[in-house]
């Protein structure tokens, strides 16, 4: 039985013999969506209040469906459970520390935290091999950690230090690690999706054209609900399905794009349905339940790895903080926030572990302590690391530097003593 049968799934709808080839056969038929009411969102000029009412119904549906589904049927072992617990604890604790450090002036620019969404990163990325690739967004710290980038390197990058994973030149929104096949955080929404599609194409090319038999690499492309209204998303779904690329498109639907409710912005809010429209399976999963996410991820990654092509997975999740640390978060309703906080994925996994005797409370405390130490150490490491030299400023700038940052004498203009005063010879 396909793992997808435990969740909501709509198989690719064959509309011609050509598409029929792409249609997976092992997948169960569509069911009602977990988090959204079956009806379309209000699209008349009705008031925001009316839309708010519909949104409340959405939350209620989540509760009803959860009761019907009961606890997940997945059986997981102790090792797997503890790996997920540790990864989620690290994600949460790291982000809480980022907030502290940001407000103490240790970080610059926008910083977007991932609190509440950990089940998605952990559920997907912890299943990957080191060779598999991840393409992220500006909400990328936790994806980097799940992929194995050390906390020290991520924190130092946030502090803008030379020891950061991009030598301090990327910052919060641009985590990258070649060693870990983290192909980047991307600040422009949707910008990472074609990059991920290209990475998946290169895996297929290496395997099928260059005959590298061991190349079974899969790429995960993460992005938000708001990003799905961007053309690049749809263009890439088309290419990935057409070429049967080894990629999973993972939508982290946290219901908001900055201050815009998903239900107000999207003609059909059920994003997962766009998969079958392009000839690939579409799946909706409860993104607050790491076990369910992992179950879906396992099937989607396996499907990509065996050459059966892409899957679109919509994970319904929620961010517990504002859009960025500069956002006062005044637009989302307190009862909506409280509803999702009551479904905190880290708390749910802990409960599951204890109820199924996979570990004791004191064993989990040992992990919590270890994570506290890792995060403390990351801060100390970042704080005591060196800032990059000024000469690094124009490295990796691909535009012709003549007339831009390098003077006729071949020296960086930023090294001119008057540079910061605006009196340099430019």
Q: Which residues bind ligand TPP (CB under 6 A)?
A: 139, 187-189, 223-227, 252, 254, 256-258, 323
With respect to Mg ion, which residue has the nearer C-beta, 189 or 382?
189
Measured from the CB of residue 117, what is the shortest distance to ligand TPP in angstroms? Answer: 8
188 interacts with, out of ligand TPP, Mg ion, none, CB within 5 to 8 A per kind: ligand TPP
| Least Cβ distance, residue 45 to ligand TPP (angstroms) | 23
Non-local CB neighbours of 67 within 8 Å, separated by 6+ positions: none
SS (H, E, C) 176-218: CECCCCECCCCCCCCCHHHHHHHHHHHHHHHHHCCCCCCCCCC
Angle at 137 between CA 133 and CA 142, to 5 degrees: 75
The helix (run of H) or strand (run of E) holding residue 8 is: strand 8-10
Pick from ligand TPP, Mg ion, none: which does 152 bind, CB < 5 to 8 A by kind? none
List of E strands, 232-330: 247-253, 256-257, 260-261, 282-286, 311-316
Which residue number, 132 or 140, has a Cβ lying nearer to ligand TPP?
140
Residue 109 or 388 having the CB closest to ligand TPP: 109
**Alpha carbon 30 to chain centroid, angstroms:** 25
CB of 394 to ligand TPP, least distance (A): 24
State which residue, 163 or 261, has the beta carbon closest to Mg ion: 261
**Residue 225 touches Mg ion, criterion: CB under 5 A:** yes
Contact 276, 10 (CB under 8 A): yes
Any residues with CB less than 8 A from the CB of 35 and at least 6 apart, and which? 58, 61, 62, 65, 253, 284, 286, 316
Place of tokens 């997808």: 4
Rounded least distance, CB 243 to Mg ion, Å: 28
Stretch that binds Mg ion, among 152-160, 179-187, 247-255, 386-394 (CB under 5 A): 247-255
Among Mg ion, ligand TPP, none, partner that 139 touches (CB below 5 to 8 angstroms by kind): ligand TPP
* Residue keyed to tokens 């997981």: 76
CB of 133 to Mg ion, least distance (A): 22
x/- map, 250-269, Mg ion, by CB under 5 A: ----x--x------------
| CA distances (Å), origin 355, targets 76, 350, 360 | 13, 9, 9
Partner from ligand TPP, Mg ion, none binding residue 258, C-beta < 5-8 Å depending on class: ligand TPP
Q: Rule CB under 5 A: which residues touch Mg ion?
A: 224-226, 254, 257
């Amino acid at each position: 039985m396909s793992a997808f049968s435990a969740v909501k799934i709509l198989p690719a709808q064959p509309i011609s013999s050509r598409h029929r080839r792409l249609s997976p056969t092992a997948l169960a038929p569509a069911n009602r969506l977990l988090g959204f009411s079956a009806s379309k969102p209000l699209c008349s000029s009705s008031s925001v209040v009316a839309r708010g009412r519909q949104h409340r119904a959405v939350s209620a549906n989540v509760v009803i469906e959860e009761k019907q589904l009961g606890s997940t049927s997945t059986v997981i072992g102790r090792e797997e459970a503890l790996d997920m617990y540790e990864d989620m604890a690290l994600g949460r604790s790291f982000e809480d520390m980022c907030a502290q450090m940001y407000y103490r002036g240790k970080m610059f620019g926008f910083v977007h935290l991932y609190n509440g969404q950990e089940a998605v990163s952990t559920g997907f990325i912890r299943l990957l091999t080191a060779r598999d690739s991840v393409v992220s967004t500006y909400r990328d710290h936790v994806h980097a950690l799940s992929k194995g980038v050390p906390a020290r390197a991520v924190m130092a990058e946030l502090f803008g230090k030379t020891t950061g994973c991009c030598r301090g030149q990327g910052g919060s929104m641009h985590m990258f690690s070649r060693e870990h096949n983290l192909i980047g955080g991307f600040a422009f929404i949707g910008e990472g999706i074609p990059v991920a599609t290209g990475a998946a194409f290169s895996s297929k090319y290496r395997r099928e054209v260059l005959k590298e038999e061991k190349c079974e690499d899969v790429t995960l492309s993460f992005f938000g609900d708001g990003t799905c209204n961007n053309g690049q998303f749809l263009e890439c779904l088309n290419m990935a399905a057409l070429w049967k690329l080894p990629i999973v498109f993972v939508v982290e639907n946290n219901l908001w794009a900055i201050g815009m409710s998903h239900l107000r912005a999207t003609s059909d809010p059920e994003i997962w349905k766009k998969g079958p429209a392009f000839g690939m399976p579409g799946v909706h999963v409860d993104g607050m339940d790491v076990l369910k996410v992992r179950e879906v991820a396992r099937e989607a990654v396996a499907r990509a790895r065996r050459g059966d092509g892409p899957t679109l997975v919509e994970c319904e999740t929620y961010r517990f903080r504002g859009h960025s640390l500069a956002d006062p978060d005044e637009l989302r309703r307190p009862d909506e926030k409280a509803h999702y906080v009551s479904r905190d994925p880290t708390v749910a996994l802990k409960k599951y572990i204890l109820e199924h005797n996979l570990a004791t409370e004191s064993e989990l405390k040992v992990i919590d302590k270890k994570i506290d130490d890792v995060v403390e150490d990351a801060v100390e490491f970042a704080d005591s690391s060196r800032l990059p030299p000024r000469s690094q400023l124009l490295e990796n700038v691909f535009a012709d530097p003549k007339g831009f940052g390098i003077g006729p004498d071949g020296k960086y203009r930023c090294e001119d003593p008057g540079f910061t005063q605006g009196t340099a010879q430019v």
